[in-house]
């Protein structure tokens, strides 16, 4: 998957499924939708926290690696190739990165991005959300599988003794909501997919 489509629309490239029509948005109750949107926001904020820890020069490399592992738990396949619901092997999740000085977007695996972030040579790095997370509607793909997107504005600041670099990027993160059965009933898991960079300024 060379193009990161994180526009929380219903493009299931990561799962290998396509959606013919959106005649049925979803069959989730308003209470369920509110609960899932809240959980998506919580997970998105947790991811931002991990990014801060991974970039911080206050943490040694082993600590950063532990945070990278935790961050990848939020993604489908945990940063590796994975098998979709039809038994097909799908590429590992990835993300687009941009710069104020380069119009062309770059694509890299999420695990590569996190490892590069851990090894950046800035004196200090700060990564924060500058706006509230906006979660789209959930769309039903098939029984037990829904998809959505969450949009965030991420501010990156890298400091050096002689200056540094800052930018803000609007990003969308692909969301998968999967139902599974347990001995006590239905349960849901929420996982991130690819991340798309929409605008950098």
Query: What are the sequence ranges of the domains in the chain?
Result: 30-200
Extended strands (E) in the chain? 82-83, 89-90, 94-99, 102-109, 124-129, 134-135, 139-142, 145-160, 163-182, 185-200
Q: What is the rounded CA–CA span in Å between residue 67 and residue 30?
A: 34
* CA distance to 16, 82, 117, 140, per residue, from 90 (Å): 7, 5, 25, 20
Query: pTM for this one?
Result: 0.84
pLDDT tens by residue, 56-73: 999 999 999 999 999 999
**Rounded CA gap, 40 and 151, in Å?**
11
pLDDT of residue 8: 32
pLDDT tens for each residue of 165-181: 999 999 999 999 999 88
Name beta bridge partners: 106: 97
Euclidean distance between CA atoms 90 and 33, whole angstroms: 28
Q: Distance between CA atoms of 53 and 68, rounded to whole angstroms?
A: 9
CATH numeric code, 30-200: 3.10.450.50
User: Pairing mode, if any, of strands 185-200 and 82-83?
Assistant: unpaired
The pLDDT tens digits for 83-129 are 887 788 999 999 999 999 987 899 999 999 999 999 999 999 999 99
């Amino acid at each position: 998957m060379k193009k990161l489509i994180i526009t929380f629309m219903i493009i299931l490239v990561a799962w290998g499924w396509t959606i013919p029509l959106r005649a049925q948005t979803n069959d989730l109750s308003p209470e369920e939708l509110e609960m899932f949107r809240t959980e998506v926001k919580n997970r998105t904020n947790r991811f931002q926290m991990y990014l801060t820890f991974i970039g911080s020069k206050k943490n040694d490399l082993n600590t950063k690696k532990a945070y990278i592992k935790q961050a990848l738990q939020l993604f489908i396949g945990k940063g590796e190739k994975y098998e979709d619901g039809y038994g097909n092997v799908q590429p590992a999740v990835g993300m687009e990165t941009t710069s104020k000085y380069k119009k062309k977007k770059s694509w890299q695996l999420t695990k590569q991005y996190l490892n590069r972030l851990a090894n950046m040579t800035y004196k200090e790095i700060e990564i924060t959300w500058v706006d509230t997370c906006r979660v789209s509607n959930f769309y039903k793909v098939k029984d037990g599988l829904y998809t959505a997107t969450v949009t965030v504005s991420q501010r990156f600041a890298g400091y050096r003794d002689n200056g540094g670099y800052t930018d803000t990027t609007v990003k969308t993160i692909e969301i998968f909501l999967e139902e599974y059965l347990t001995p006590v009933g239905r349960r849901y898991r929420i996982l991130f997919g690819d991340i798309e960079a929409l605008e950098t300024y």
